Structure formats: structure tokens, C-alpha cells
Amino acid sequence: MAASDDHHAVLDRQTGPFDTLTAALGGLFVGHCLASVARFSVADALDDTPRTAQELAEVTGANPEALSRVLRLLAAHGVFAASDDRFTHTGASRMLRSDHPQSWRDFVATFGTERTVKQLGYFDYSLQTGLPATNKLNPDGFFAILQSDPEAGRIFDAAMVSKARIQVASVLAAYDFSDCGTIADIGGGQGHLLQAVVDAAERTTGILFDLPPVIERAAEIASDRLTLQAGDFFKDPLPVCDTYMLMDVIHDWDVERATAILAAVRKAAPPHARLLLVESVVPDDPGPDWSKAMDIMMLIHTGGRQRTHSEHESLLQTCGFRLERVVATTSDVSILEAVRA
């Protein structure tokens, strides 16, 4: 084969099926690198001055050569920029700083925790059974781990606050909460969304509803307009309110339990009430989308799933709600507005 033929063969390989597979498989290591630099606070160590890996390693405690190789891979994907032997920030890498207003540091860092790594080790179990890999670590499931391990609960809370920073801002910009009256945030965690809504919409009041340990950790946000109510949405009656808001709650559960949650909302909701589901909606388009990766995360963590527009609509109908509209936001979530059917 002539040299020119060899050259064309290489080009064909690089743009063909082999390249597709290597790009997909390489993403596994990009994710690991992201989680590690977040845990080592590398973005915090880098200011506006270009730094070498050696300089960053001295601050973060990483190995200089290993850090250089990790940053080279991340820079190839737009997280940090590399020039000669120095690294600078990009928009994406700045979001890994703890002082960024929309910091994702704590959320990204959770992908490198020992528990997450162990769960990924049981991925085949999820593929074979359809059950969450978490069951191999604790038969009672993901949320039992959080309740039994205070440190795991703290890490999870920090990750959810981190993840929600962009989501909360995008929800406030996309939806008018001014006439929502009293809003119950069901399974609202630390109340970051509800507090932001109540602060932005002066005529609203809020009730944060979550498990007792979660409510204890959220005690400092209580005010004259925001009250806290401990309970289990599978067992306890929900508050009677004008608006029910659930952000990234339904995706945690399979159809049976998601139906139970929405049925509890339907039972408590007065005739005029509205329901706001803040969730990622899986597009019908077959191309890449973050929601499809999140769907696999739900599979191995909780046994839940991300849903398409039609799957959300069907779930709501089953529980006595009618989907009125879907409001897109600038983040990965949409607002599905429903009323009693």
C-alpha cells in the first residue's frame, strides 16, 4: 500500500466507528478527571494568572506530573485551557471554583466519592436486574444510606445545593410565581428553591416539607413567610396549599412510587391548586443530551428515571392531573405545570 493510501486509511479510521467508540469510552476518564480536580480544589488554586501544574500541585497536594496529564485531558474538552506548560481558566473550569455564583464544585466532586465508585462497580447488577446498584451497598436503598450516615447526608446536601444553583436561577427567570399563594415545596431538601421563590415573589409564603433529619438541617431558613414541616410523603398527609412544587423529586423514583407521591399531592390539593414539576425532560431526539446521562445515574443510584414529555404527561394523568404546559428554562430543567383534572 502506498504512503498516501496509509494516510487515507488513518483518516478513515479517525472519523469512523473506531473514533466514535474511543470518544465515548474516553468520556469515562474525562468524568473521573473532573471529579478529582473538583475534590482537590484545583480550580480554586488557579486565579487569573497562568500557572504550571507544578505550581498548582504545590497548593492542592496533587502529584505534579499526574496533575499535568489530567489537566491536559480536561483542557482538550474545554475545561481549563493549556498553553505551553501553563494552564488558565475557561468558563467551564471557573464553575468548579467554590466562590463561583453558580459553582458546581460540590456536585461534580460527588462523582469521585468512595460510595459512588463502589456503586459504579455494581453497574452490571443494575443492567441485569433493572435495580439500583445502591442495593448492593444497602438493601434499603440510596436514601437509607443518607439517613444512616450523617457524612453521606452532608455530602449529598452540598451536592444538591451546588447542582441547584443554576437551576434555581433559571426557574426564577422562566416562571412568574407572583400569584402562587402558599407554595408547598415537597421533598425540597434544604429549601434553596423555595427560599429563592419566596424572596422573589413578595406575596407568596412557603412550606418546606421533607424528612425530619432534612428539616433539622434546614432550620435556619425558617421565617414568618417560610415554615418547615417534617414528614414522609409516602406516609404522612401533605399540607393544603395553593401551589405544589417538586424539583428533581419524581425522577428519584420508579413508576409505582412516583405515582404514590403525586397521588398524595392530588389528595391534599384543593380544586384551584396547581402543580409544578421541575424536572429534566428527555428529548425525543436521539442525539446526546445531559438528561440521558442523568437517567443512568438514576438507574444506579435510586432506581428512578428521567422521563420524556409523554411519560410525564401519562404519569400526571394517572394521578388525576392535567398537564397544561411545559416551560423551558436556560438550564437542564423544565417546569411542567399541571392542574387537577
Catalytic residues: 251
How far, in Å, CA of 142 to CA of 71, rounded? 32
In this structure, what C-alpha cell is assigned to residue 264? 398524595
- Determine the Cα–Cα distance for residues 307 and 283; give it in Å rounded to an integer: 9
CA-CA distance, 214 to 189, in Å (whole number)? 6
**Cell numbers given for 330:** 436556560
Residue 311 DSSP one-character state: H
- Residues 212, 217, 220, 223, CA torsion sign: negative
Q: What is the signed CA dihedral for 72, 78, 79, 84, rounded to 10 degrees? A: 40
Indicate the SS3 state at residue 282. strand
DSSP 35-53: HHHHHTTHHHH--SS-EEH
Q: Is 196 helix (H, G, I), strand (E, B) or coil?
A: helix
Closest C-alpha to 321, from 212, 254, 244, 253: 244
| Residue carrying C-alpha cell 491536559 | 72
Written in H, E and C, the secondary structure of 313-324 is HHHHHHCCEEEE
Question: Crossing angle, helix 64-76 and helix 53-60, to 10 degrees?
Answer: 110
Residues 193/184, Cβ–Cβ less than 8 Å: no
Find the helix packing angle between 114-121 and 290-301, rounded to 10°.
90
Q: Where are the alpha helices (DSSP H) in 175-230?
A: 192-200, 212-217
How far apart are alpha carbons 68 and 39 in whole angstroms? 16
